[in-house]
């Protein structure tokens, strides 16, 4: 469920129209010598905001190309290969920077890998760097045979375009926060192929955490199993895209095919070792605060709860009581509710006399 929070567009609109802060306009007119006030509700703000969002959505659509290339049989074969990649990663058969693990989402870099997010020494767009050559595994042969060559034959991408392939493996409830693929690292278009299940790509969302909440997208783009999505222009450069937790209902994997720029900044070998040491030190310092409990295997098949509604819980308990004729549920709820509002009485501190001993 997306939360209704202000987006960048709304803030932008407000800064563009500061004179519209008062939603109601007051007009004065006289009728027979008596002054009357007439309040008029204006929908100009809402209309202008919606027009701005629609204009933004049209720009995003102009930079998106979607084609359905892979048949269900081809998808099944590719998905078996993705399972092999996951198994190899679990067995530790890949290089250190090939595999990047996160809650409910694992990334596998092939050909080229780069630093991002918490791996950056300096946060912010433009700070991403390619790893030095040889720090990630080469693109597997099956990716060329089953995916890249198929797209070249269909005229979707040019031959020799791809030198970076990333496999993102999502579990139900997994997500990737709003971002723009680094423009100083990758050329356009950004090509992604979806497998295992249908999902959606959202543009212009804003994430909030604890609990996780996502604002309404400017554009909601369904992505089907076996479909190819290409981002360029406005969709790739001027607006963020993300995958929301509520849009990953089943396991989903995506293969992202990109080409790195010839002048993309790259980490040197010595700087990599120092950054790796600092990252290890940072992880060691945070180790005590992190939970090492194993995930509940059944939790992957339950939708992630974004917000807890107390009233909804109460109604659910009441409905169960009515259906089963069990009055204990209502009583237990009232006891829990009373306990949550219970305030202990103020106690006057007692002074205990302490007997001193001589030594």
Residues serving a catalytic function are 114
Number of residues assigned to the chain? 359
DSSP characters for 136-196? Answer: SBPPPHHHIIIIIHHHHHTTSS-TT---EEEEEEE-TT--EEEE---TTTB-S-EEEEEES
Residue 118's CB is within 10 A of a number of other CB atoms, namely 10
Let me know the angle formed at the C-alpha of 66 by 65 and 72, rounded to the nearest 5 degrees: 160
CA atoms within 13 A on the CB side of 227: 17
Are 267 and 130 in contact by the 8 Å Cβ rule? The answer is yes
Compute the radius of gyration of the chain from its Cα atoms: 28
Rounded CA gap, 108 and 86, in Å? 9
């Amino acid at each position: 469920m997306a939360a209704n929070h202000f987006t960048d567009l709304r803030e932008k609109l407000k800064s563009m129209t500061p004179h519209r802060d008062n939603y109601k306009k007051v007009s004065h007119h006289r009728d027979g010598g008596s002054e009357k006030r007439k309040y008029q509700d204006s929908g100009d703000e809402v209309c202008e905001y919606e027009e701005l969002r629609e204009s933004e959505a049209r720009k995003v659509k102009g930079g998106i190309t979607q084609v359905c290339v892979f048949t269900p049989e081809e998808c099944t074969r590719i998905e078996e290969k993705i399972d092999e990649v996951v198994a190899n990663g679990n067995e530790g058969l890949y290089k250190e920077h090939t595999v990047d693990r996160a809650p409910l989402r694992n990334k596998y870099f092939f050909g080229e890998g780069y630093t991002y997010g918490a791996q950056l020494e300096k946060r912010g767009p433009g700070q991403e760097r390619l790893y030095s050559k040889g720090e990630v595994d080469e693109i597997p042969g099956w990716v060329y045979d089953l995916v890249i060559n198929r797209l070249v034959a269909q005229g979707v991408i040019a031959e020799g375009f791809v030198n970076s392939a990333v496999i993102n493996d999502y579990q139900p409830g997994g997500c990737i926060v709003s971002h723009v693929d680094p423009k100083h690292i990758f050329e356009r278009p950004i090509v992604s192929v979806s497998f295992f299940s249908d999902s959606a790509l959202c543009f212009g969302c804003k994430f909030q955490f604890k609990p996780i909440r996502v604002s309404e997208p400017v554009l909601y783009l369904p992505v089907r199993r076996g479909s190819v999505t290409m981002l360029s222009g406005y969709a790739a450069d001027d607006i963020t895209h993300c995958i929301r937790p509520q849009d990953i209902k089943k396991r989903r994997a995506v293969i992202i095919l990109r080409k790195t720029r010839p002048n993309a900044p790259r980490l040197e070998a010595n700087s990599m070792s120092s950054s790796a040491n600092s990252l290890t030190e940072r992880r060691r310092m945070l180790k005590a605060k992190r939970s090492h409990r194993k995930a509940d295997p059944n939790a992957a098949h339950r939708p992630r709860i974004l917000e807890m509604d107390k009233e909804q819980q109460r109604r659910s308990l009441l409905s169960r009581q009515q259906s089963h004729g069990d009055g204990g549920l209502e009583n237990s709820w009232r006891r829990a509710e009373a306990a949550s509002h219970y305030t202990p009485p103020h106690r006057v501190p007692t002074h205990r006399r302490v007997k001193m001993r001589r030594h």
